[in-house]
Amino acid sequence: MPINESPNSNSSLHTSMPSLQHARPRLKAGHIFGSLVSTSQDGPLLFETSDGARQVSLPTYANDILPLLDGSRTIPDILETLHRAHGRVRFKSFFSTLQKLQTQGCLDGTEALETPAAKARIEMFERESIWLTRPIFSMNLVSGKMVSEPSVLAFSLFAVGTLIVTLSFLLGSIGLGYVNVPSGFLRIQDSYVKGLLFFFAAASILVTAKTMIKAILSMLLTGSRSSLNLELGLFSFVLRSYDDKIYMAGGRTLGTLAFAAVASSYFFIFAVASAAAPHWSRLDDLFWVSLILALIDLNPFRKSELSSFFNIVYNQRSSAQLLPYLQNRGVLDFQVNDRYLDVGVYTAYSSVAMIWTMLGYNVLLALINRNDAILITTMLASFKDGPLAELLAASILILALGLSFLYLIVDLVRTLAKNVLFPMSSSRFSKRSKKKITPHVLENVEAIAQSILKIPLFTGLHPDAVLFLLSKGEARTVPKGTHIVVQGTSSTELYVLIEGQVAVVRRHKTGAAEELTSLQAPTVFGENTILANKQRSADVIATETSIVIAIPRKAIDELIHHSVLRTEAEVLLDRMILGQYVASSELFKDAPSEVVSLFFNEGTIVNVATGRHIIEQGRTDKDFYLLIRGSVDVIHNGQIVSRLQQGDFFGEMALIMNAPRSATIMTREPCRLLKLTSAQFWRVLSQHASIALYLETVSEIRIGEIA
């Protein structure tokens, strides 16, 4: 959703992301592996750091990129080298490679790649587990290294065998009633102390067994030994592996098989125990310990085996909408509108997330209902007659069950509040802002006008035009934390910030509030609603006490019809239309001010009459155009194949593909365009990844249309 409060017209705009133009990416020490499951030269690559702690799956094209990530080249230098070597740059592969490496901590000097989308992915897939399950102590025992040749056959046999053994005995035990909810869970020989010791020992064995099964599967599939850590937690002392390349190496099919085998391995020891000692009195406790550990390590809302599997195997544009399901898909947002979204993956993950939530809720509720009376009785008896150890053990157990249950309840309530209440807050924000904002008389108008003339939207205008607009506006003092613009409301005012600072915040249907950027005086925002009469699509909130001038739409109309200032109004209107395009276009939705300034300040506005050729098929010129006003026909081999309207762009294909013009562009009516040279165009692409990705996607679509 585009924002109407365009931050793009301010040269003093602050953004948290440095320019890509100056980034010097440096790859950490590590190893590059070719396709692990295919002899095809088009198979995937795998980069692994020297200690084996981090692995990243990469496209084959990364073979050309990785040697250039030595820290000596800027991103424009790398793009130029790739362009010179291959005649074109695959921007999707290039930037996705850098962002994957950066997200997984394998790349230095790439703060500029920390886009909101990348940060959101890190937050979703790398969230820490709840404090109860975090390790107190961790030490690396074994570093990862290549030890043998991979064997897909051996991997498949071992994975399928693990699944068959585990599931067969598990289903058999369930059928025999060995896994009913125990009424004396972890009460061994009338002692909860022994029960906690049993839980500690069982958890240690179960997690270590799962780790070893995962390590064997990884070695068979990748030929490399996993890095192993020795970890001490509150409830276990285990060997643990964070090696997830098992999900990368074999694509979706083998990755899914690997995940199924790893997920079932929590019950492997239980299956062995039920086969060896089917009448063991602690078999039901062992099952419930296994189930609790599986639930913890398959948490879809935290860093877990499940989230790692989906992140790696289905890591695509839709991944940002997968984790966690409830926080990232609002209950009011039922329709999937993103054409790039893998609906099957989304549906599968959301279903798994909801099943996990309900299963966790019912498991904890069942354990509490069956054990609360005996736990409380034991606590009271131990408090009265001792021993103290039993009091502590029973207290720890009921506290752990209670906190875990409370964790689920709070998370569900918070999610409901975020998804339903927060997105509907526009009315409350509007009422509050009306009470706090104070109108006042504007002083030093001429000095303010000179300051406003520094804003790109007004640069070059005659001071009288700015003074005219100021005379029609209303000065307002806005306290810190007050909304100047409220998302979802309608307004026909242009705002000029002459003192202070504001934040542009978008409230999503998911309940998340995303700060898009901050604006510092002097700047302008809200100009696009004057032309389009749209609802505001973001909040603008004062982050310190600020002064704004609200200029109504009718003031612009009066300036347009002014007998003397009409020419100035035409220039202003052109810039506002261009600003509207920049703010509303998918192409520029994430672009920082530095990128947009190239279009405003370095591009050239040209006027073309009806029936003129702007671009001719077969020519080798390399200019890029934004259509500010009018419409054009796209003609291929003498046939009109499409029509472009105000707000469209063209000319990018010859630049991206380094090829002659593939079509002729002819005006249908008088047109006004913003023209960029090849050098300016490449500067834009080198500074912002999302523009490059979007342009390449549009180019591929247009190639398909022409073909």
pLDDT beyond 90 at 93: no
* Predicted confidence band of residue 615 (pLDDT cuts 50, 70, 90): very high
Helix (H, G, I), strand (E, B) or coil at 283: helix
Query: Which range among 8-12, 99-103, 547-551, 641-645 shows the weakest confidence by mean pLDDT?
Result: 8-12
Nearest to 687 by CA among 575, 587, 570, 598: 598
pLDDT in tens, 280-291: 888 888 888 898
**pTM of this structure:** 0.58
Given this model, what pLDDT does residue 40 score? 42
pLDDT beyond 90 at 35: no
Tokens describing residue 326: 């409830």
Residue the block writes with tokens 């190893």: 31
Given this model, what pLDDT does residue 16 score? 36
In the chain, the percentage of residues whose pLDDT exceeds 70 is: 70
pLDDT beyond 70 at 704: no
Query: Which range among 229-243, 322-336, 440-454, 646-660 shows the weakest confidence by mean pLDDT?
Result: 322-336
Given this model, what pLDDT does residue 382 score? 82
pLDDT beyond 60 at 338: no
pLDDT beyond 70 at 595: no
pLDDT in tens, 641-668: 888 887 677 887 676 656 688 889 999 9
pLDDT beyond 50 at 10: no
pLDDT in tens, 198-213: 999 999 999 999 999 9
* Predicted confidence band of residue 58 (pLDDT cuts 50, 70, 90): confident
* Predicted confidence band of residue 4 (pLDDT cuts 50, 70, 90): very low
Give the residue with greater pLDDT, 356 vs 159.
Answer: 159
Residue the block writes with tokens 């991103």: 75
pLDDT beyond 60 at 75: yes
Q: Which residues contact 275 (CB under 8 A, 6 or more apart)?
A: 169
Give yes or no for a cis peptide into 387 (omega within 30° of 0).
yes
Pair 258, 156: CB distance under 8 Å: no
- How far apart CA 363 and CA 357 sit, in angstroms, is 10
The DSSP element (H or E) to which 237 belongs, if any, is strand 237-240
Given this model, what pLDDT does residue 624 score? 85
Number of H helices, E strands in the chain: 24, 27
Given this model, what pLDDT does residue 6 score? 33
pLDDT in tens, 553-564: 888 888 888 888
Length of the chain: 707
Q: How far is CA 326 from CA 29, 111, 122, 509, in A?
A: 38, 29, 17, 11
Beginning with the edge strand found earlier in the chain, give each strand of the sheet holding 632-636 in spatial order.
Answer: 613-615, 664-667, 632-636, 639-644
Pair 323, 300: CB distance under 8 Å: yes
pLDDT beyond 60 at 106: yes
Q: What is the DSSP string of 118-166?
A: HHHHHHHHSPPPPGGGS-SEEEEEE--EE-S---HHHHHHHHHHHHHHH
pLDDT beyond 60 at 331: no
Q: Which fold has domain 18-114?
A: Outer Surface Protein A; domain 3 (3.90.930)
Given this model, what pLDDT does residue 300 score? 76
Residue the block writes with tokens 């009109």: 640
- How far apart CA 226 and CA 240 sit, in angstroms, is 10
Tokens describing residue 374: 């005996």
| Rounded mean pLDDT, 304-326 | 55
pLDDT beyond 90 at 240: no
Given this model, what pLDDT does residue 126 score? 46
CATH fit for domain 603-706, picks 3.40.50.300, 2.40.110.10, 2.60.40.10, 2.60.120.10: 2.60.120.10
pLDDT beyond 70 at 335: no
- How far apart CA 647 and CA 115 sit, in angstroms, is 25
What mean pLDDT, rounded, does the chain reach?
75
Given this model, what pLDDT does residue 324 score? 36
Tokens describing residue 642: 């499409």
Cα–chain center distance at 322 = 10
* Predicted confidence band of residue 609 (pLDDT cuts 50, 70, 90): very high
Residue 673's beta-bridge partner residues?
A: 606, 627
Residue the block writes with tokens 């019950």: 267
Nearest to 98 by CA among 115, 84, 123: 115
pLDDT beyond 60 at 323: no
Query: Which range among 60-69, 375-384, 385-394, 417-426 shows the weakest confidence by mean pLDDT?
Result: 417-426
* Predicted confidence band of residue 508 (pLDDT cuts 50, 70, 90): low
pLDDT beyond 50 at 545: yes
pLDDT beyond 50 at 684: yes
Cα–chain center distance at 283 = 43
Helix (H, G, I), strand (E, B) or coil at 703: helix
Sign of CA dihedral 564, 565, 571, 576: negative
Residue the block writes with tokens 């009424």: 183
Nearest to 578 by CA among 440, 457, 427: 457
Cα–chain center distance at 171 = 39
pLDDT beyond 60 at 121: no
Given this model, what pLDDT does residue 350 score? 65
pLDDT in tens, 128-150: 566 666 788 888 888 777 787 88
In the chain, the percentage of residues whose pLDDT exceeds 90 is: 13
**Positions of CATH 3.90.930.60 in the chain:** 18-114
Given this model, what pLDDT does residue 37 score? 47
Residue the block writes with tokens 């993103």: 338
Beginning with the edge strand found earlier in the chain, give each strand of the sheet holding 474-478 in spatial order.
Answer: 438-440, 474-478, 546-552, 493-499, 523-525
**Positions of CATH 2.60.120.10 in the chain:** 426-565, 603-706
> Which CATH code fits 426-565?
2.60.120.10
Pair 285, 182: CB distance under 8 Å: yes
Question: What DSSP state is assigned to residue 506?
Answer: E
| Rounded mean pLDDT, 178-191 | 82
Burial class (CB in 10 A: 0-12, 13-18, 19+), 453: middle
* Predicted confidence band of residue 629 (pLDDT cuts 50, 70, 90): confident
